[in-house]
Amino acid sequence: MTKLSVNINKIATLRNSRGGDTPNVIQFAKDVQRFGAQGVTVHPRPDERHIRYQDVRDLKAEVYTEFNIEGNPIKSFMDLVLEIKPTQVTLVPDAEDAITSNAGWDTIKHKAFLTEVITEFKANGIRTSIFVDPILKMVENAKNTGADRIELYTEAYAEDYVNNREAAIKPYVDAAVLANGLGIGINAGHDLSLDNIEFFQKHIPNLLEVSIGHALIAESLYLGIENVVQMYLHRLSK
Ligand SMILES: CC(=O)[C@@H](O)[C@H](O)COP(=O)(O)O
Ligand SMILES: NCC(=O)COP(=O)(O)O
């Protein structure tokens, strides 16, 4: 079964655009869980332009499904995650000035750093995942850091899906087969949508979780959030 974790960063972005508390991110997290989402994802960045560190603290009491915190493990992020102790931390090598995540880890170059960080999170009972491109040596070395899972960075899949979905999925299938053989779990995320999720899920063996935000919120403008969560769950259950 593939779990749906809803990334609520965009709700915080909308709220922050006016400076008040509308829409309320806590209420939104409660609602997506009530509608069936099996997890909530947040990605606090150092400048807090999307979800804020205080939001993450406030969410702790309200997220009763899987709580996934994503981000670059700088000191303030590590302190936050160790304070909250979510179900899962996903390590993402995002630069401070990047609009959104735009690359996976080089798990060879950063092996020592990742190993140290992962050891600390695991010692605190937090499941660990590393954001990686579908590159075999990056997947293989993700396993060597001690991470429980990888999160496959799916932007390239989403972009290529519209032209040639068979070619688009191929590197992800190869990466997933390797990950399964190595015994490391598989998550995926970035630019997944109602259009491309079903094909992805059908072809990736043992896909444990997808985290989806941008497209899901955009689709909800037309279809409503309750419908959209149900539509994703339906596509993921096939
Ligand atoms: C890790 C990742 O893939 C990103 O998609 C990210 O979590 C999305 O966050 P933003 O929506 O704030 O760009
Ligand atoms: N880890 C990916 C994520 O949380 C959401 O990415 P996106 O759907 O906003 O592109």
pTM: 0.97
Higher pLDDT, 13 or 100: 13
Q: The complex's ipTM?
A: 0.94
Calculate how far, in angstroms, residue 208's C-alpha sits from the geometric centre of ligand 1. 18
List pLDDT tens digits, range 169-227: 999 999 999 999 999 999 999 999 999 999 999 999 999 999 999 999 999 999 999 99
DSSP assignment letter at 129: E
CA 5 to ligand 2: nearest atom: 4
List pLDDT tens digits, range 118-145: 999 999 999 999 999 999 999 999 999 9
- Shortest-distance ligand to the CA of residue 13: 1
pLDDT of residue 86: 98
pLDDT of residue 96: 79
CA 90 to ligand 1: nearest atom: 1
> Annotation-wise, does 214 bind a ligand?
yes
Burial 93-115 (b: 16+ CB within 10 A, else e): bbeeeeeebeebbbbeebeeebe
Q: How far is CA 116 from CA 88, 112, 126, 130, 147, in A?
A: 16, 6, 14, 13, 11
Calculate how far, in angstroms, residue 38's C-alpha sits from the geometric centre of ligand 2. 15
Q: Is the pLDDT of residue 238 over 80?
A: no
The CATH topology of domain 3-236 is: TIM Barrel (3.20.20)
Is the C-beta atom of 105 inside 6 A of ligand 1? no
> Which residues are identified as catalytic?
43, 70, 190
List pLDDT tens digits, range 83-119: 999 999 999 998 877 888 888 999 999 999 999 999 9
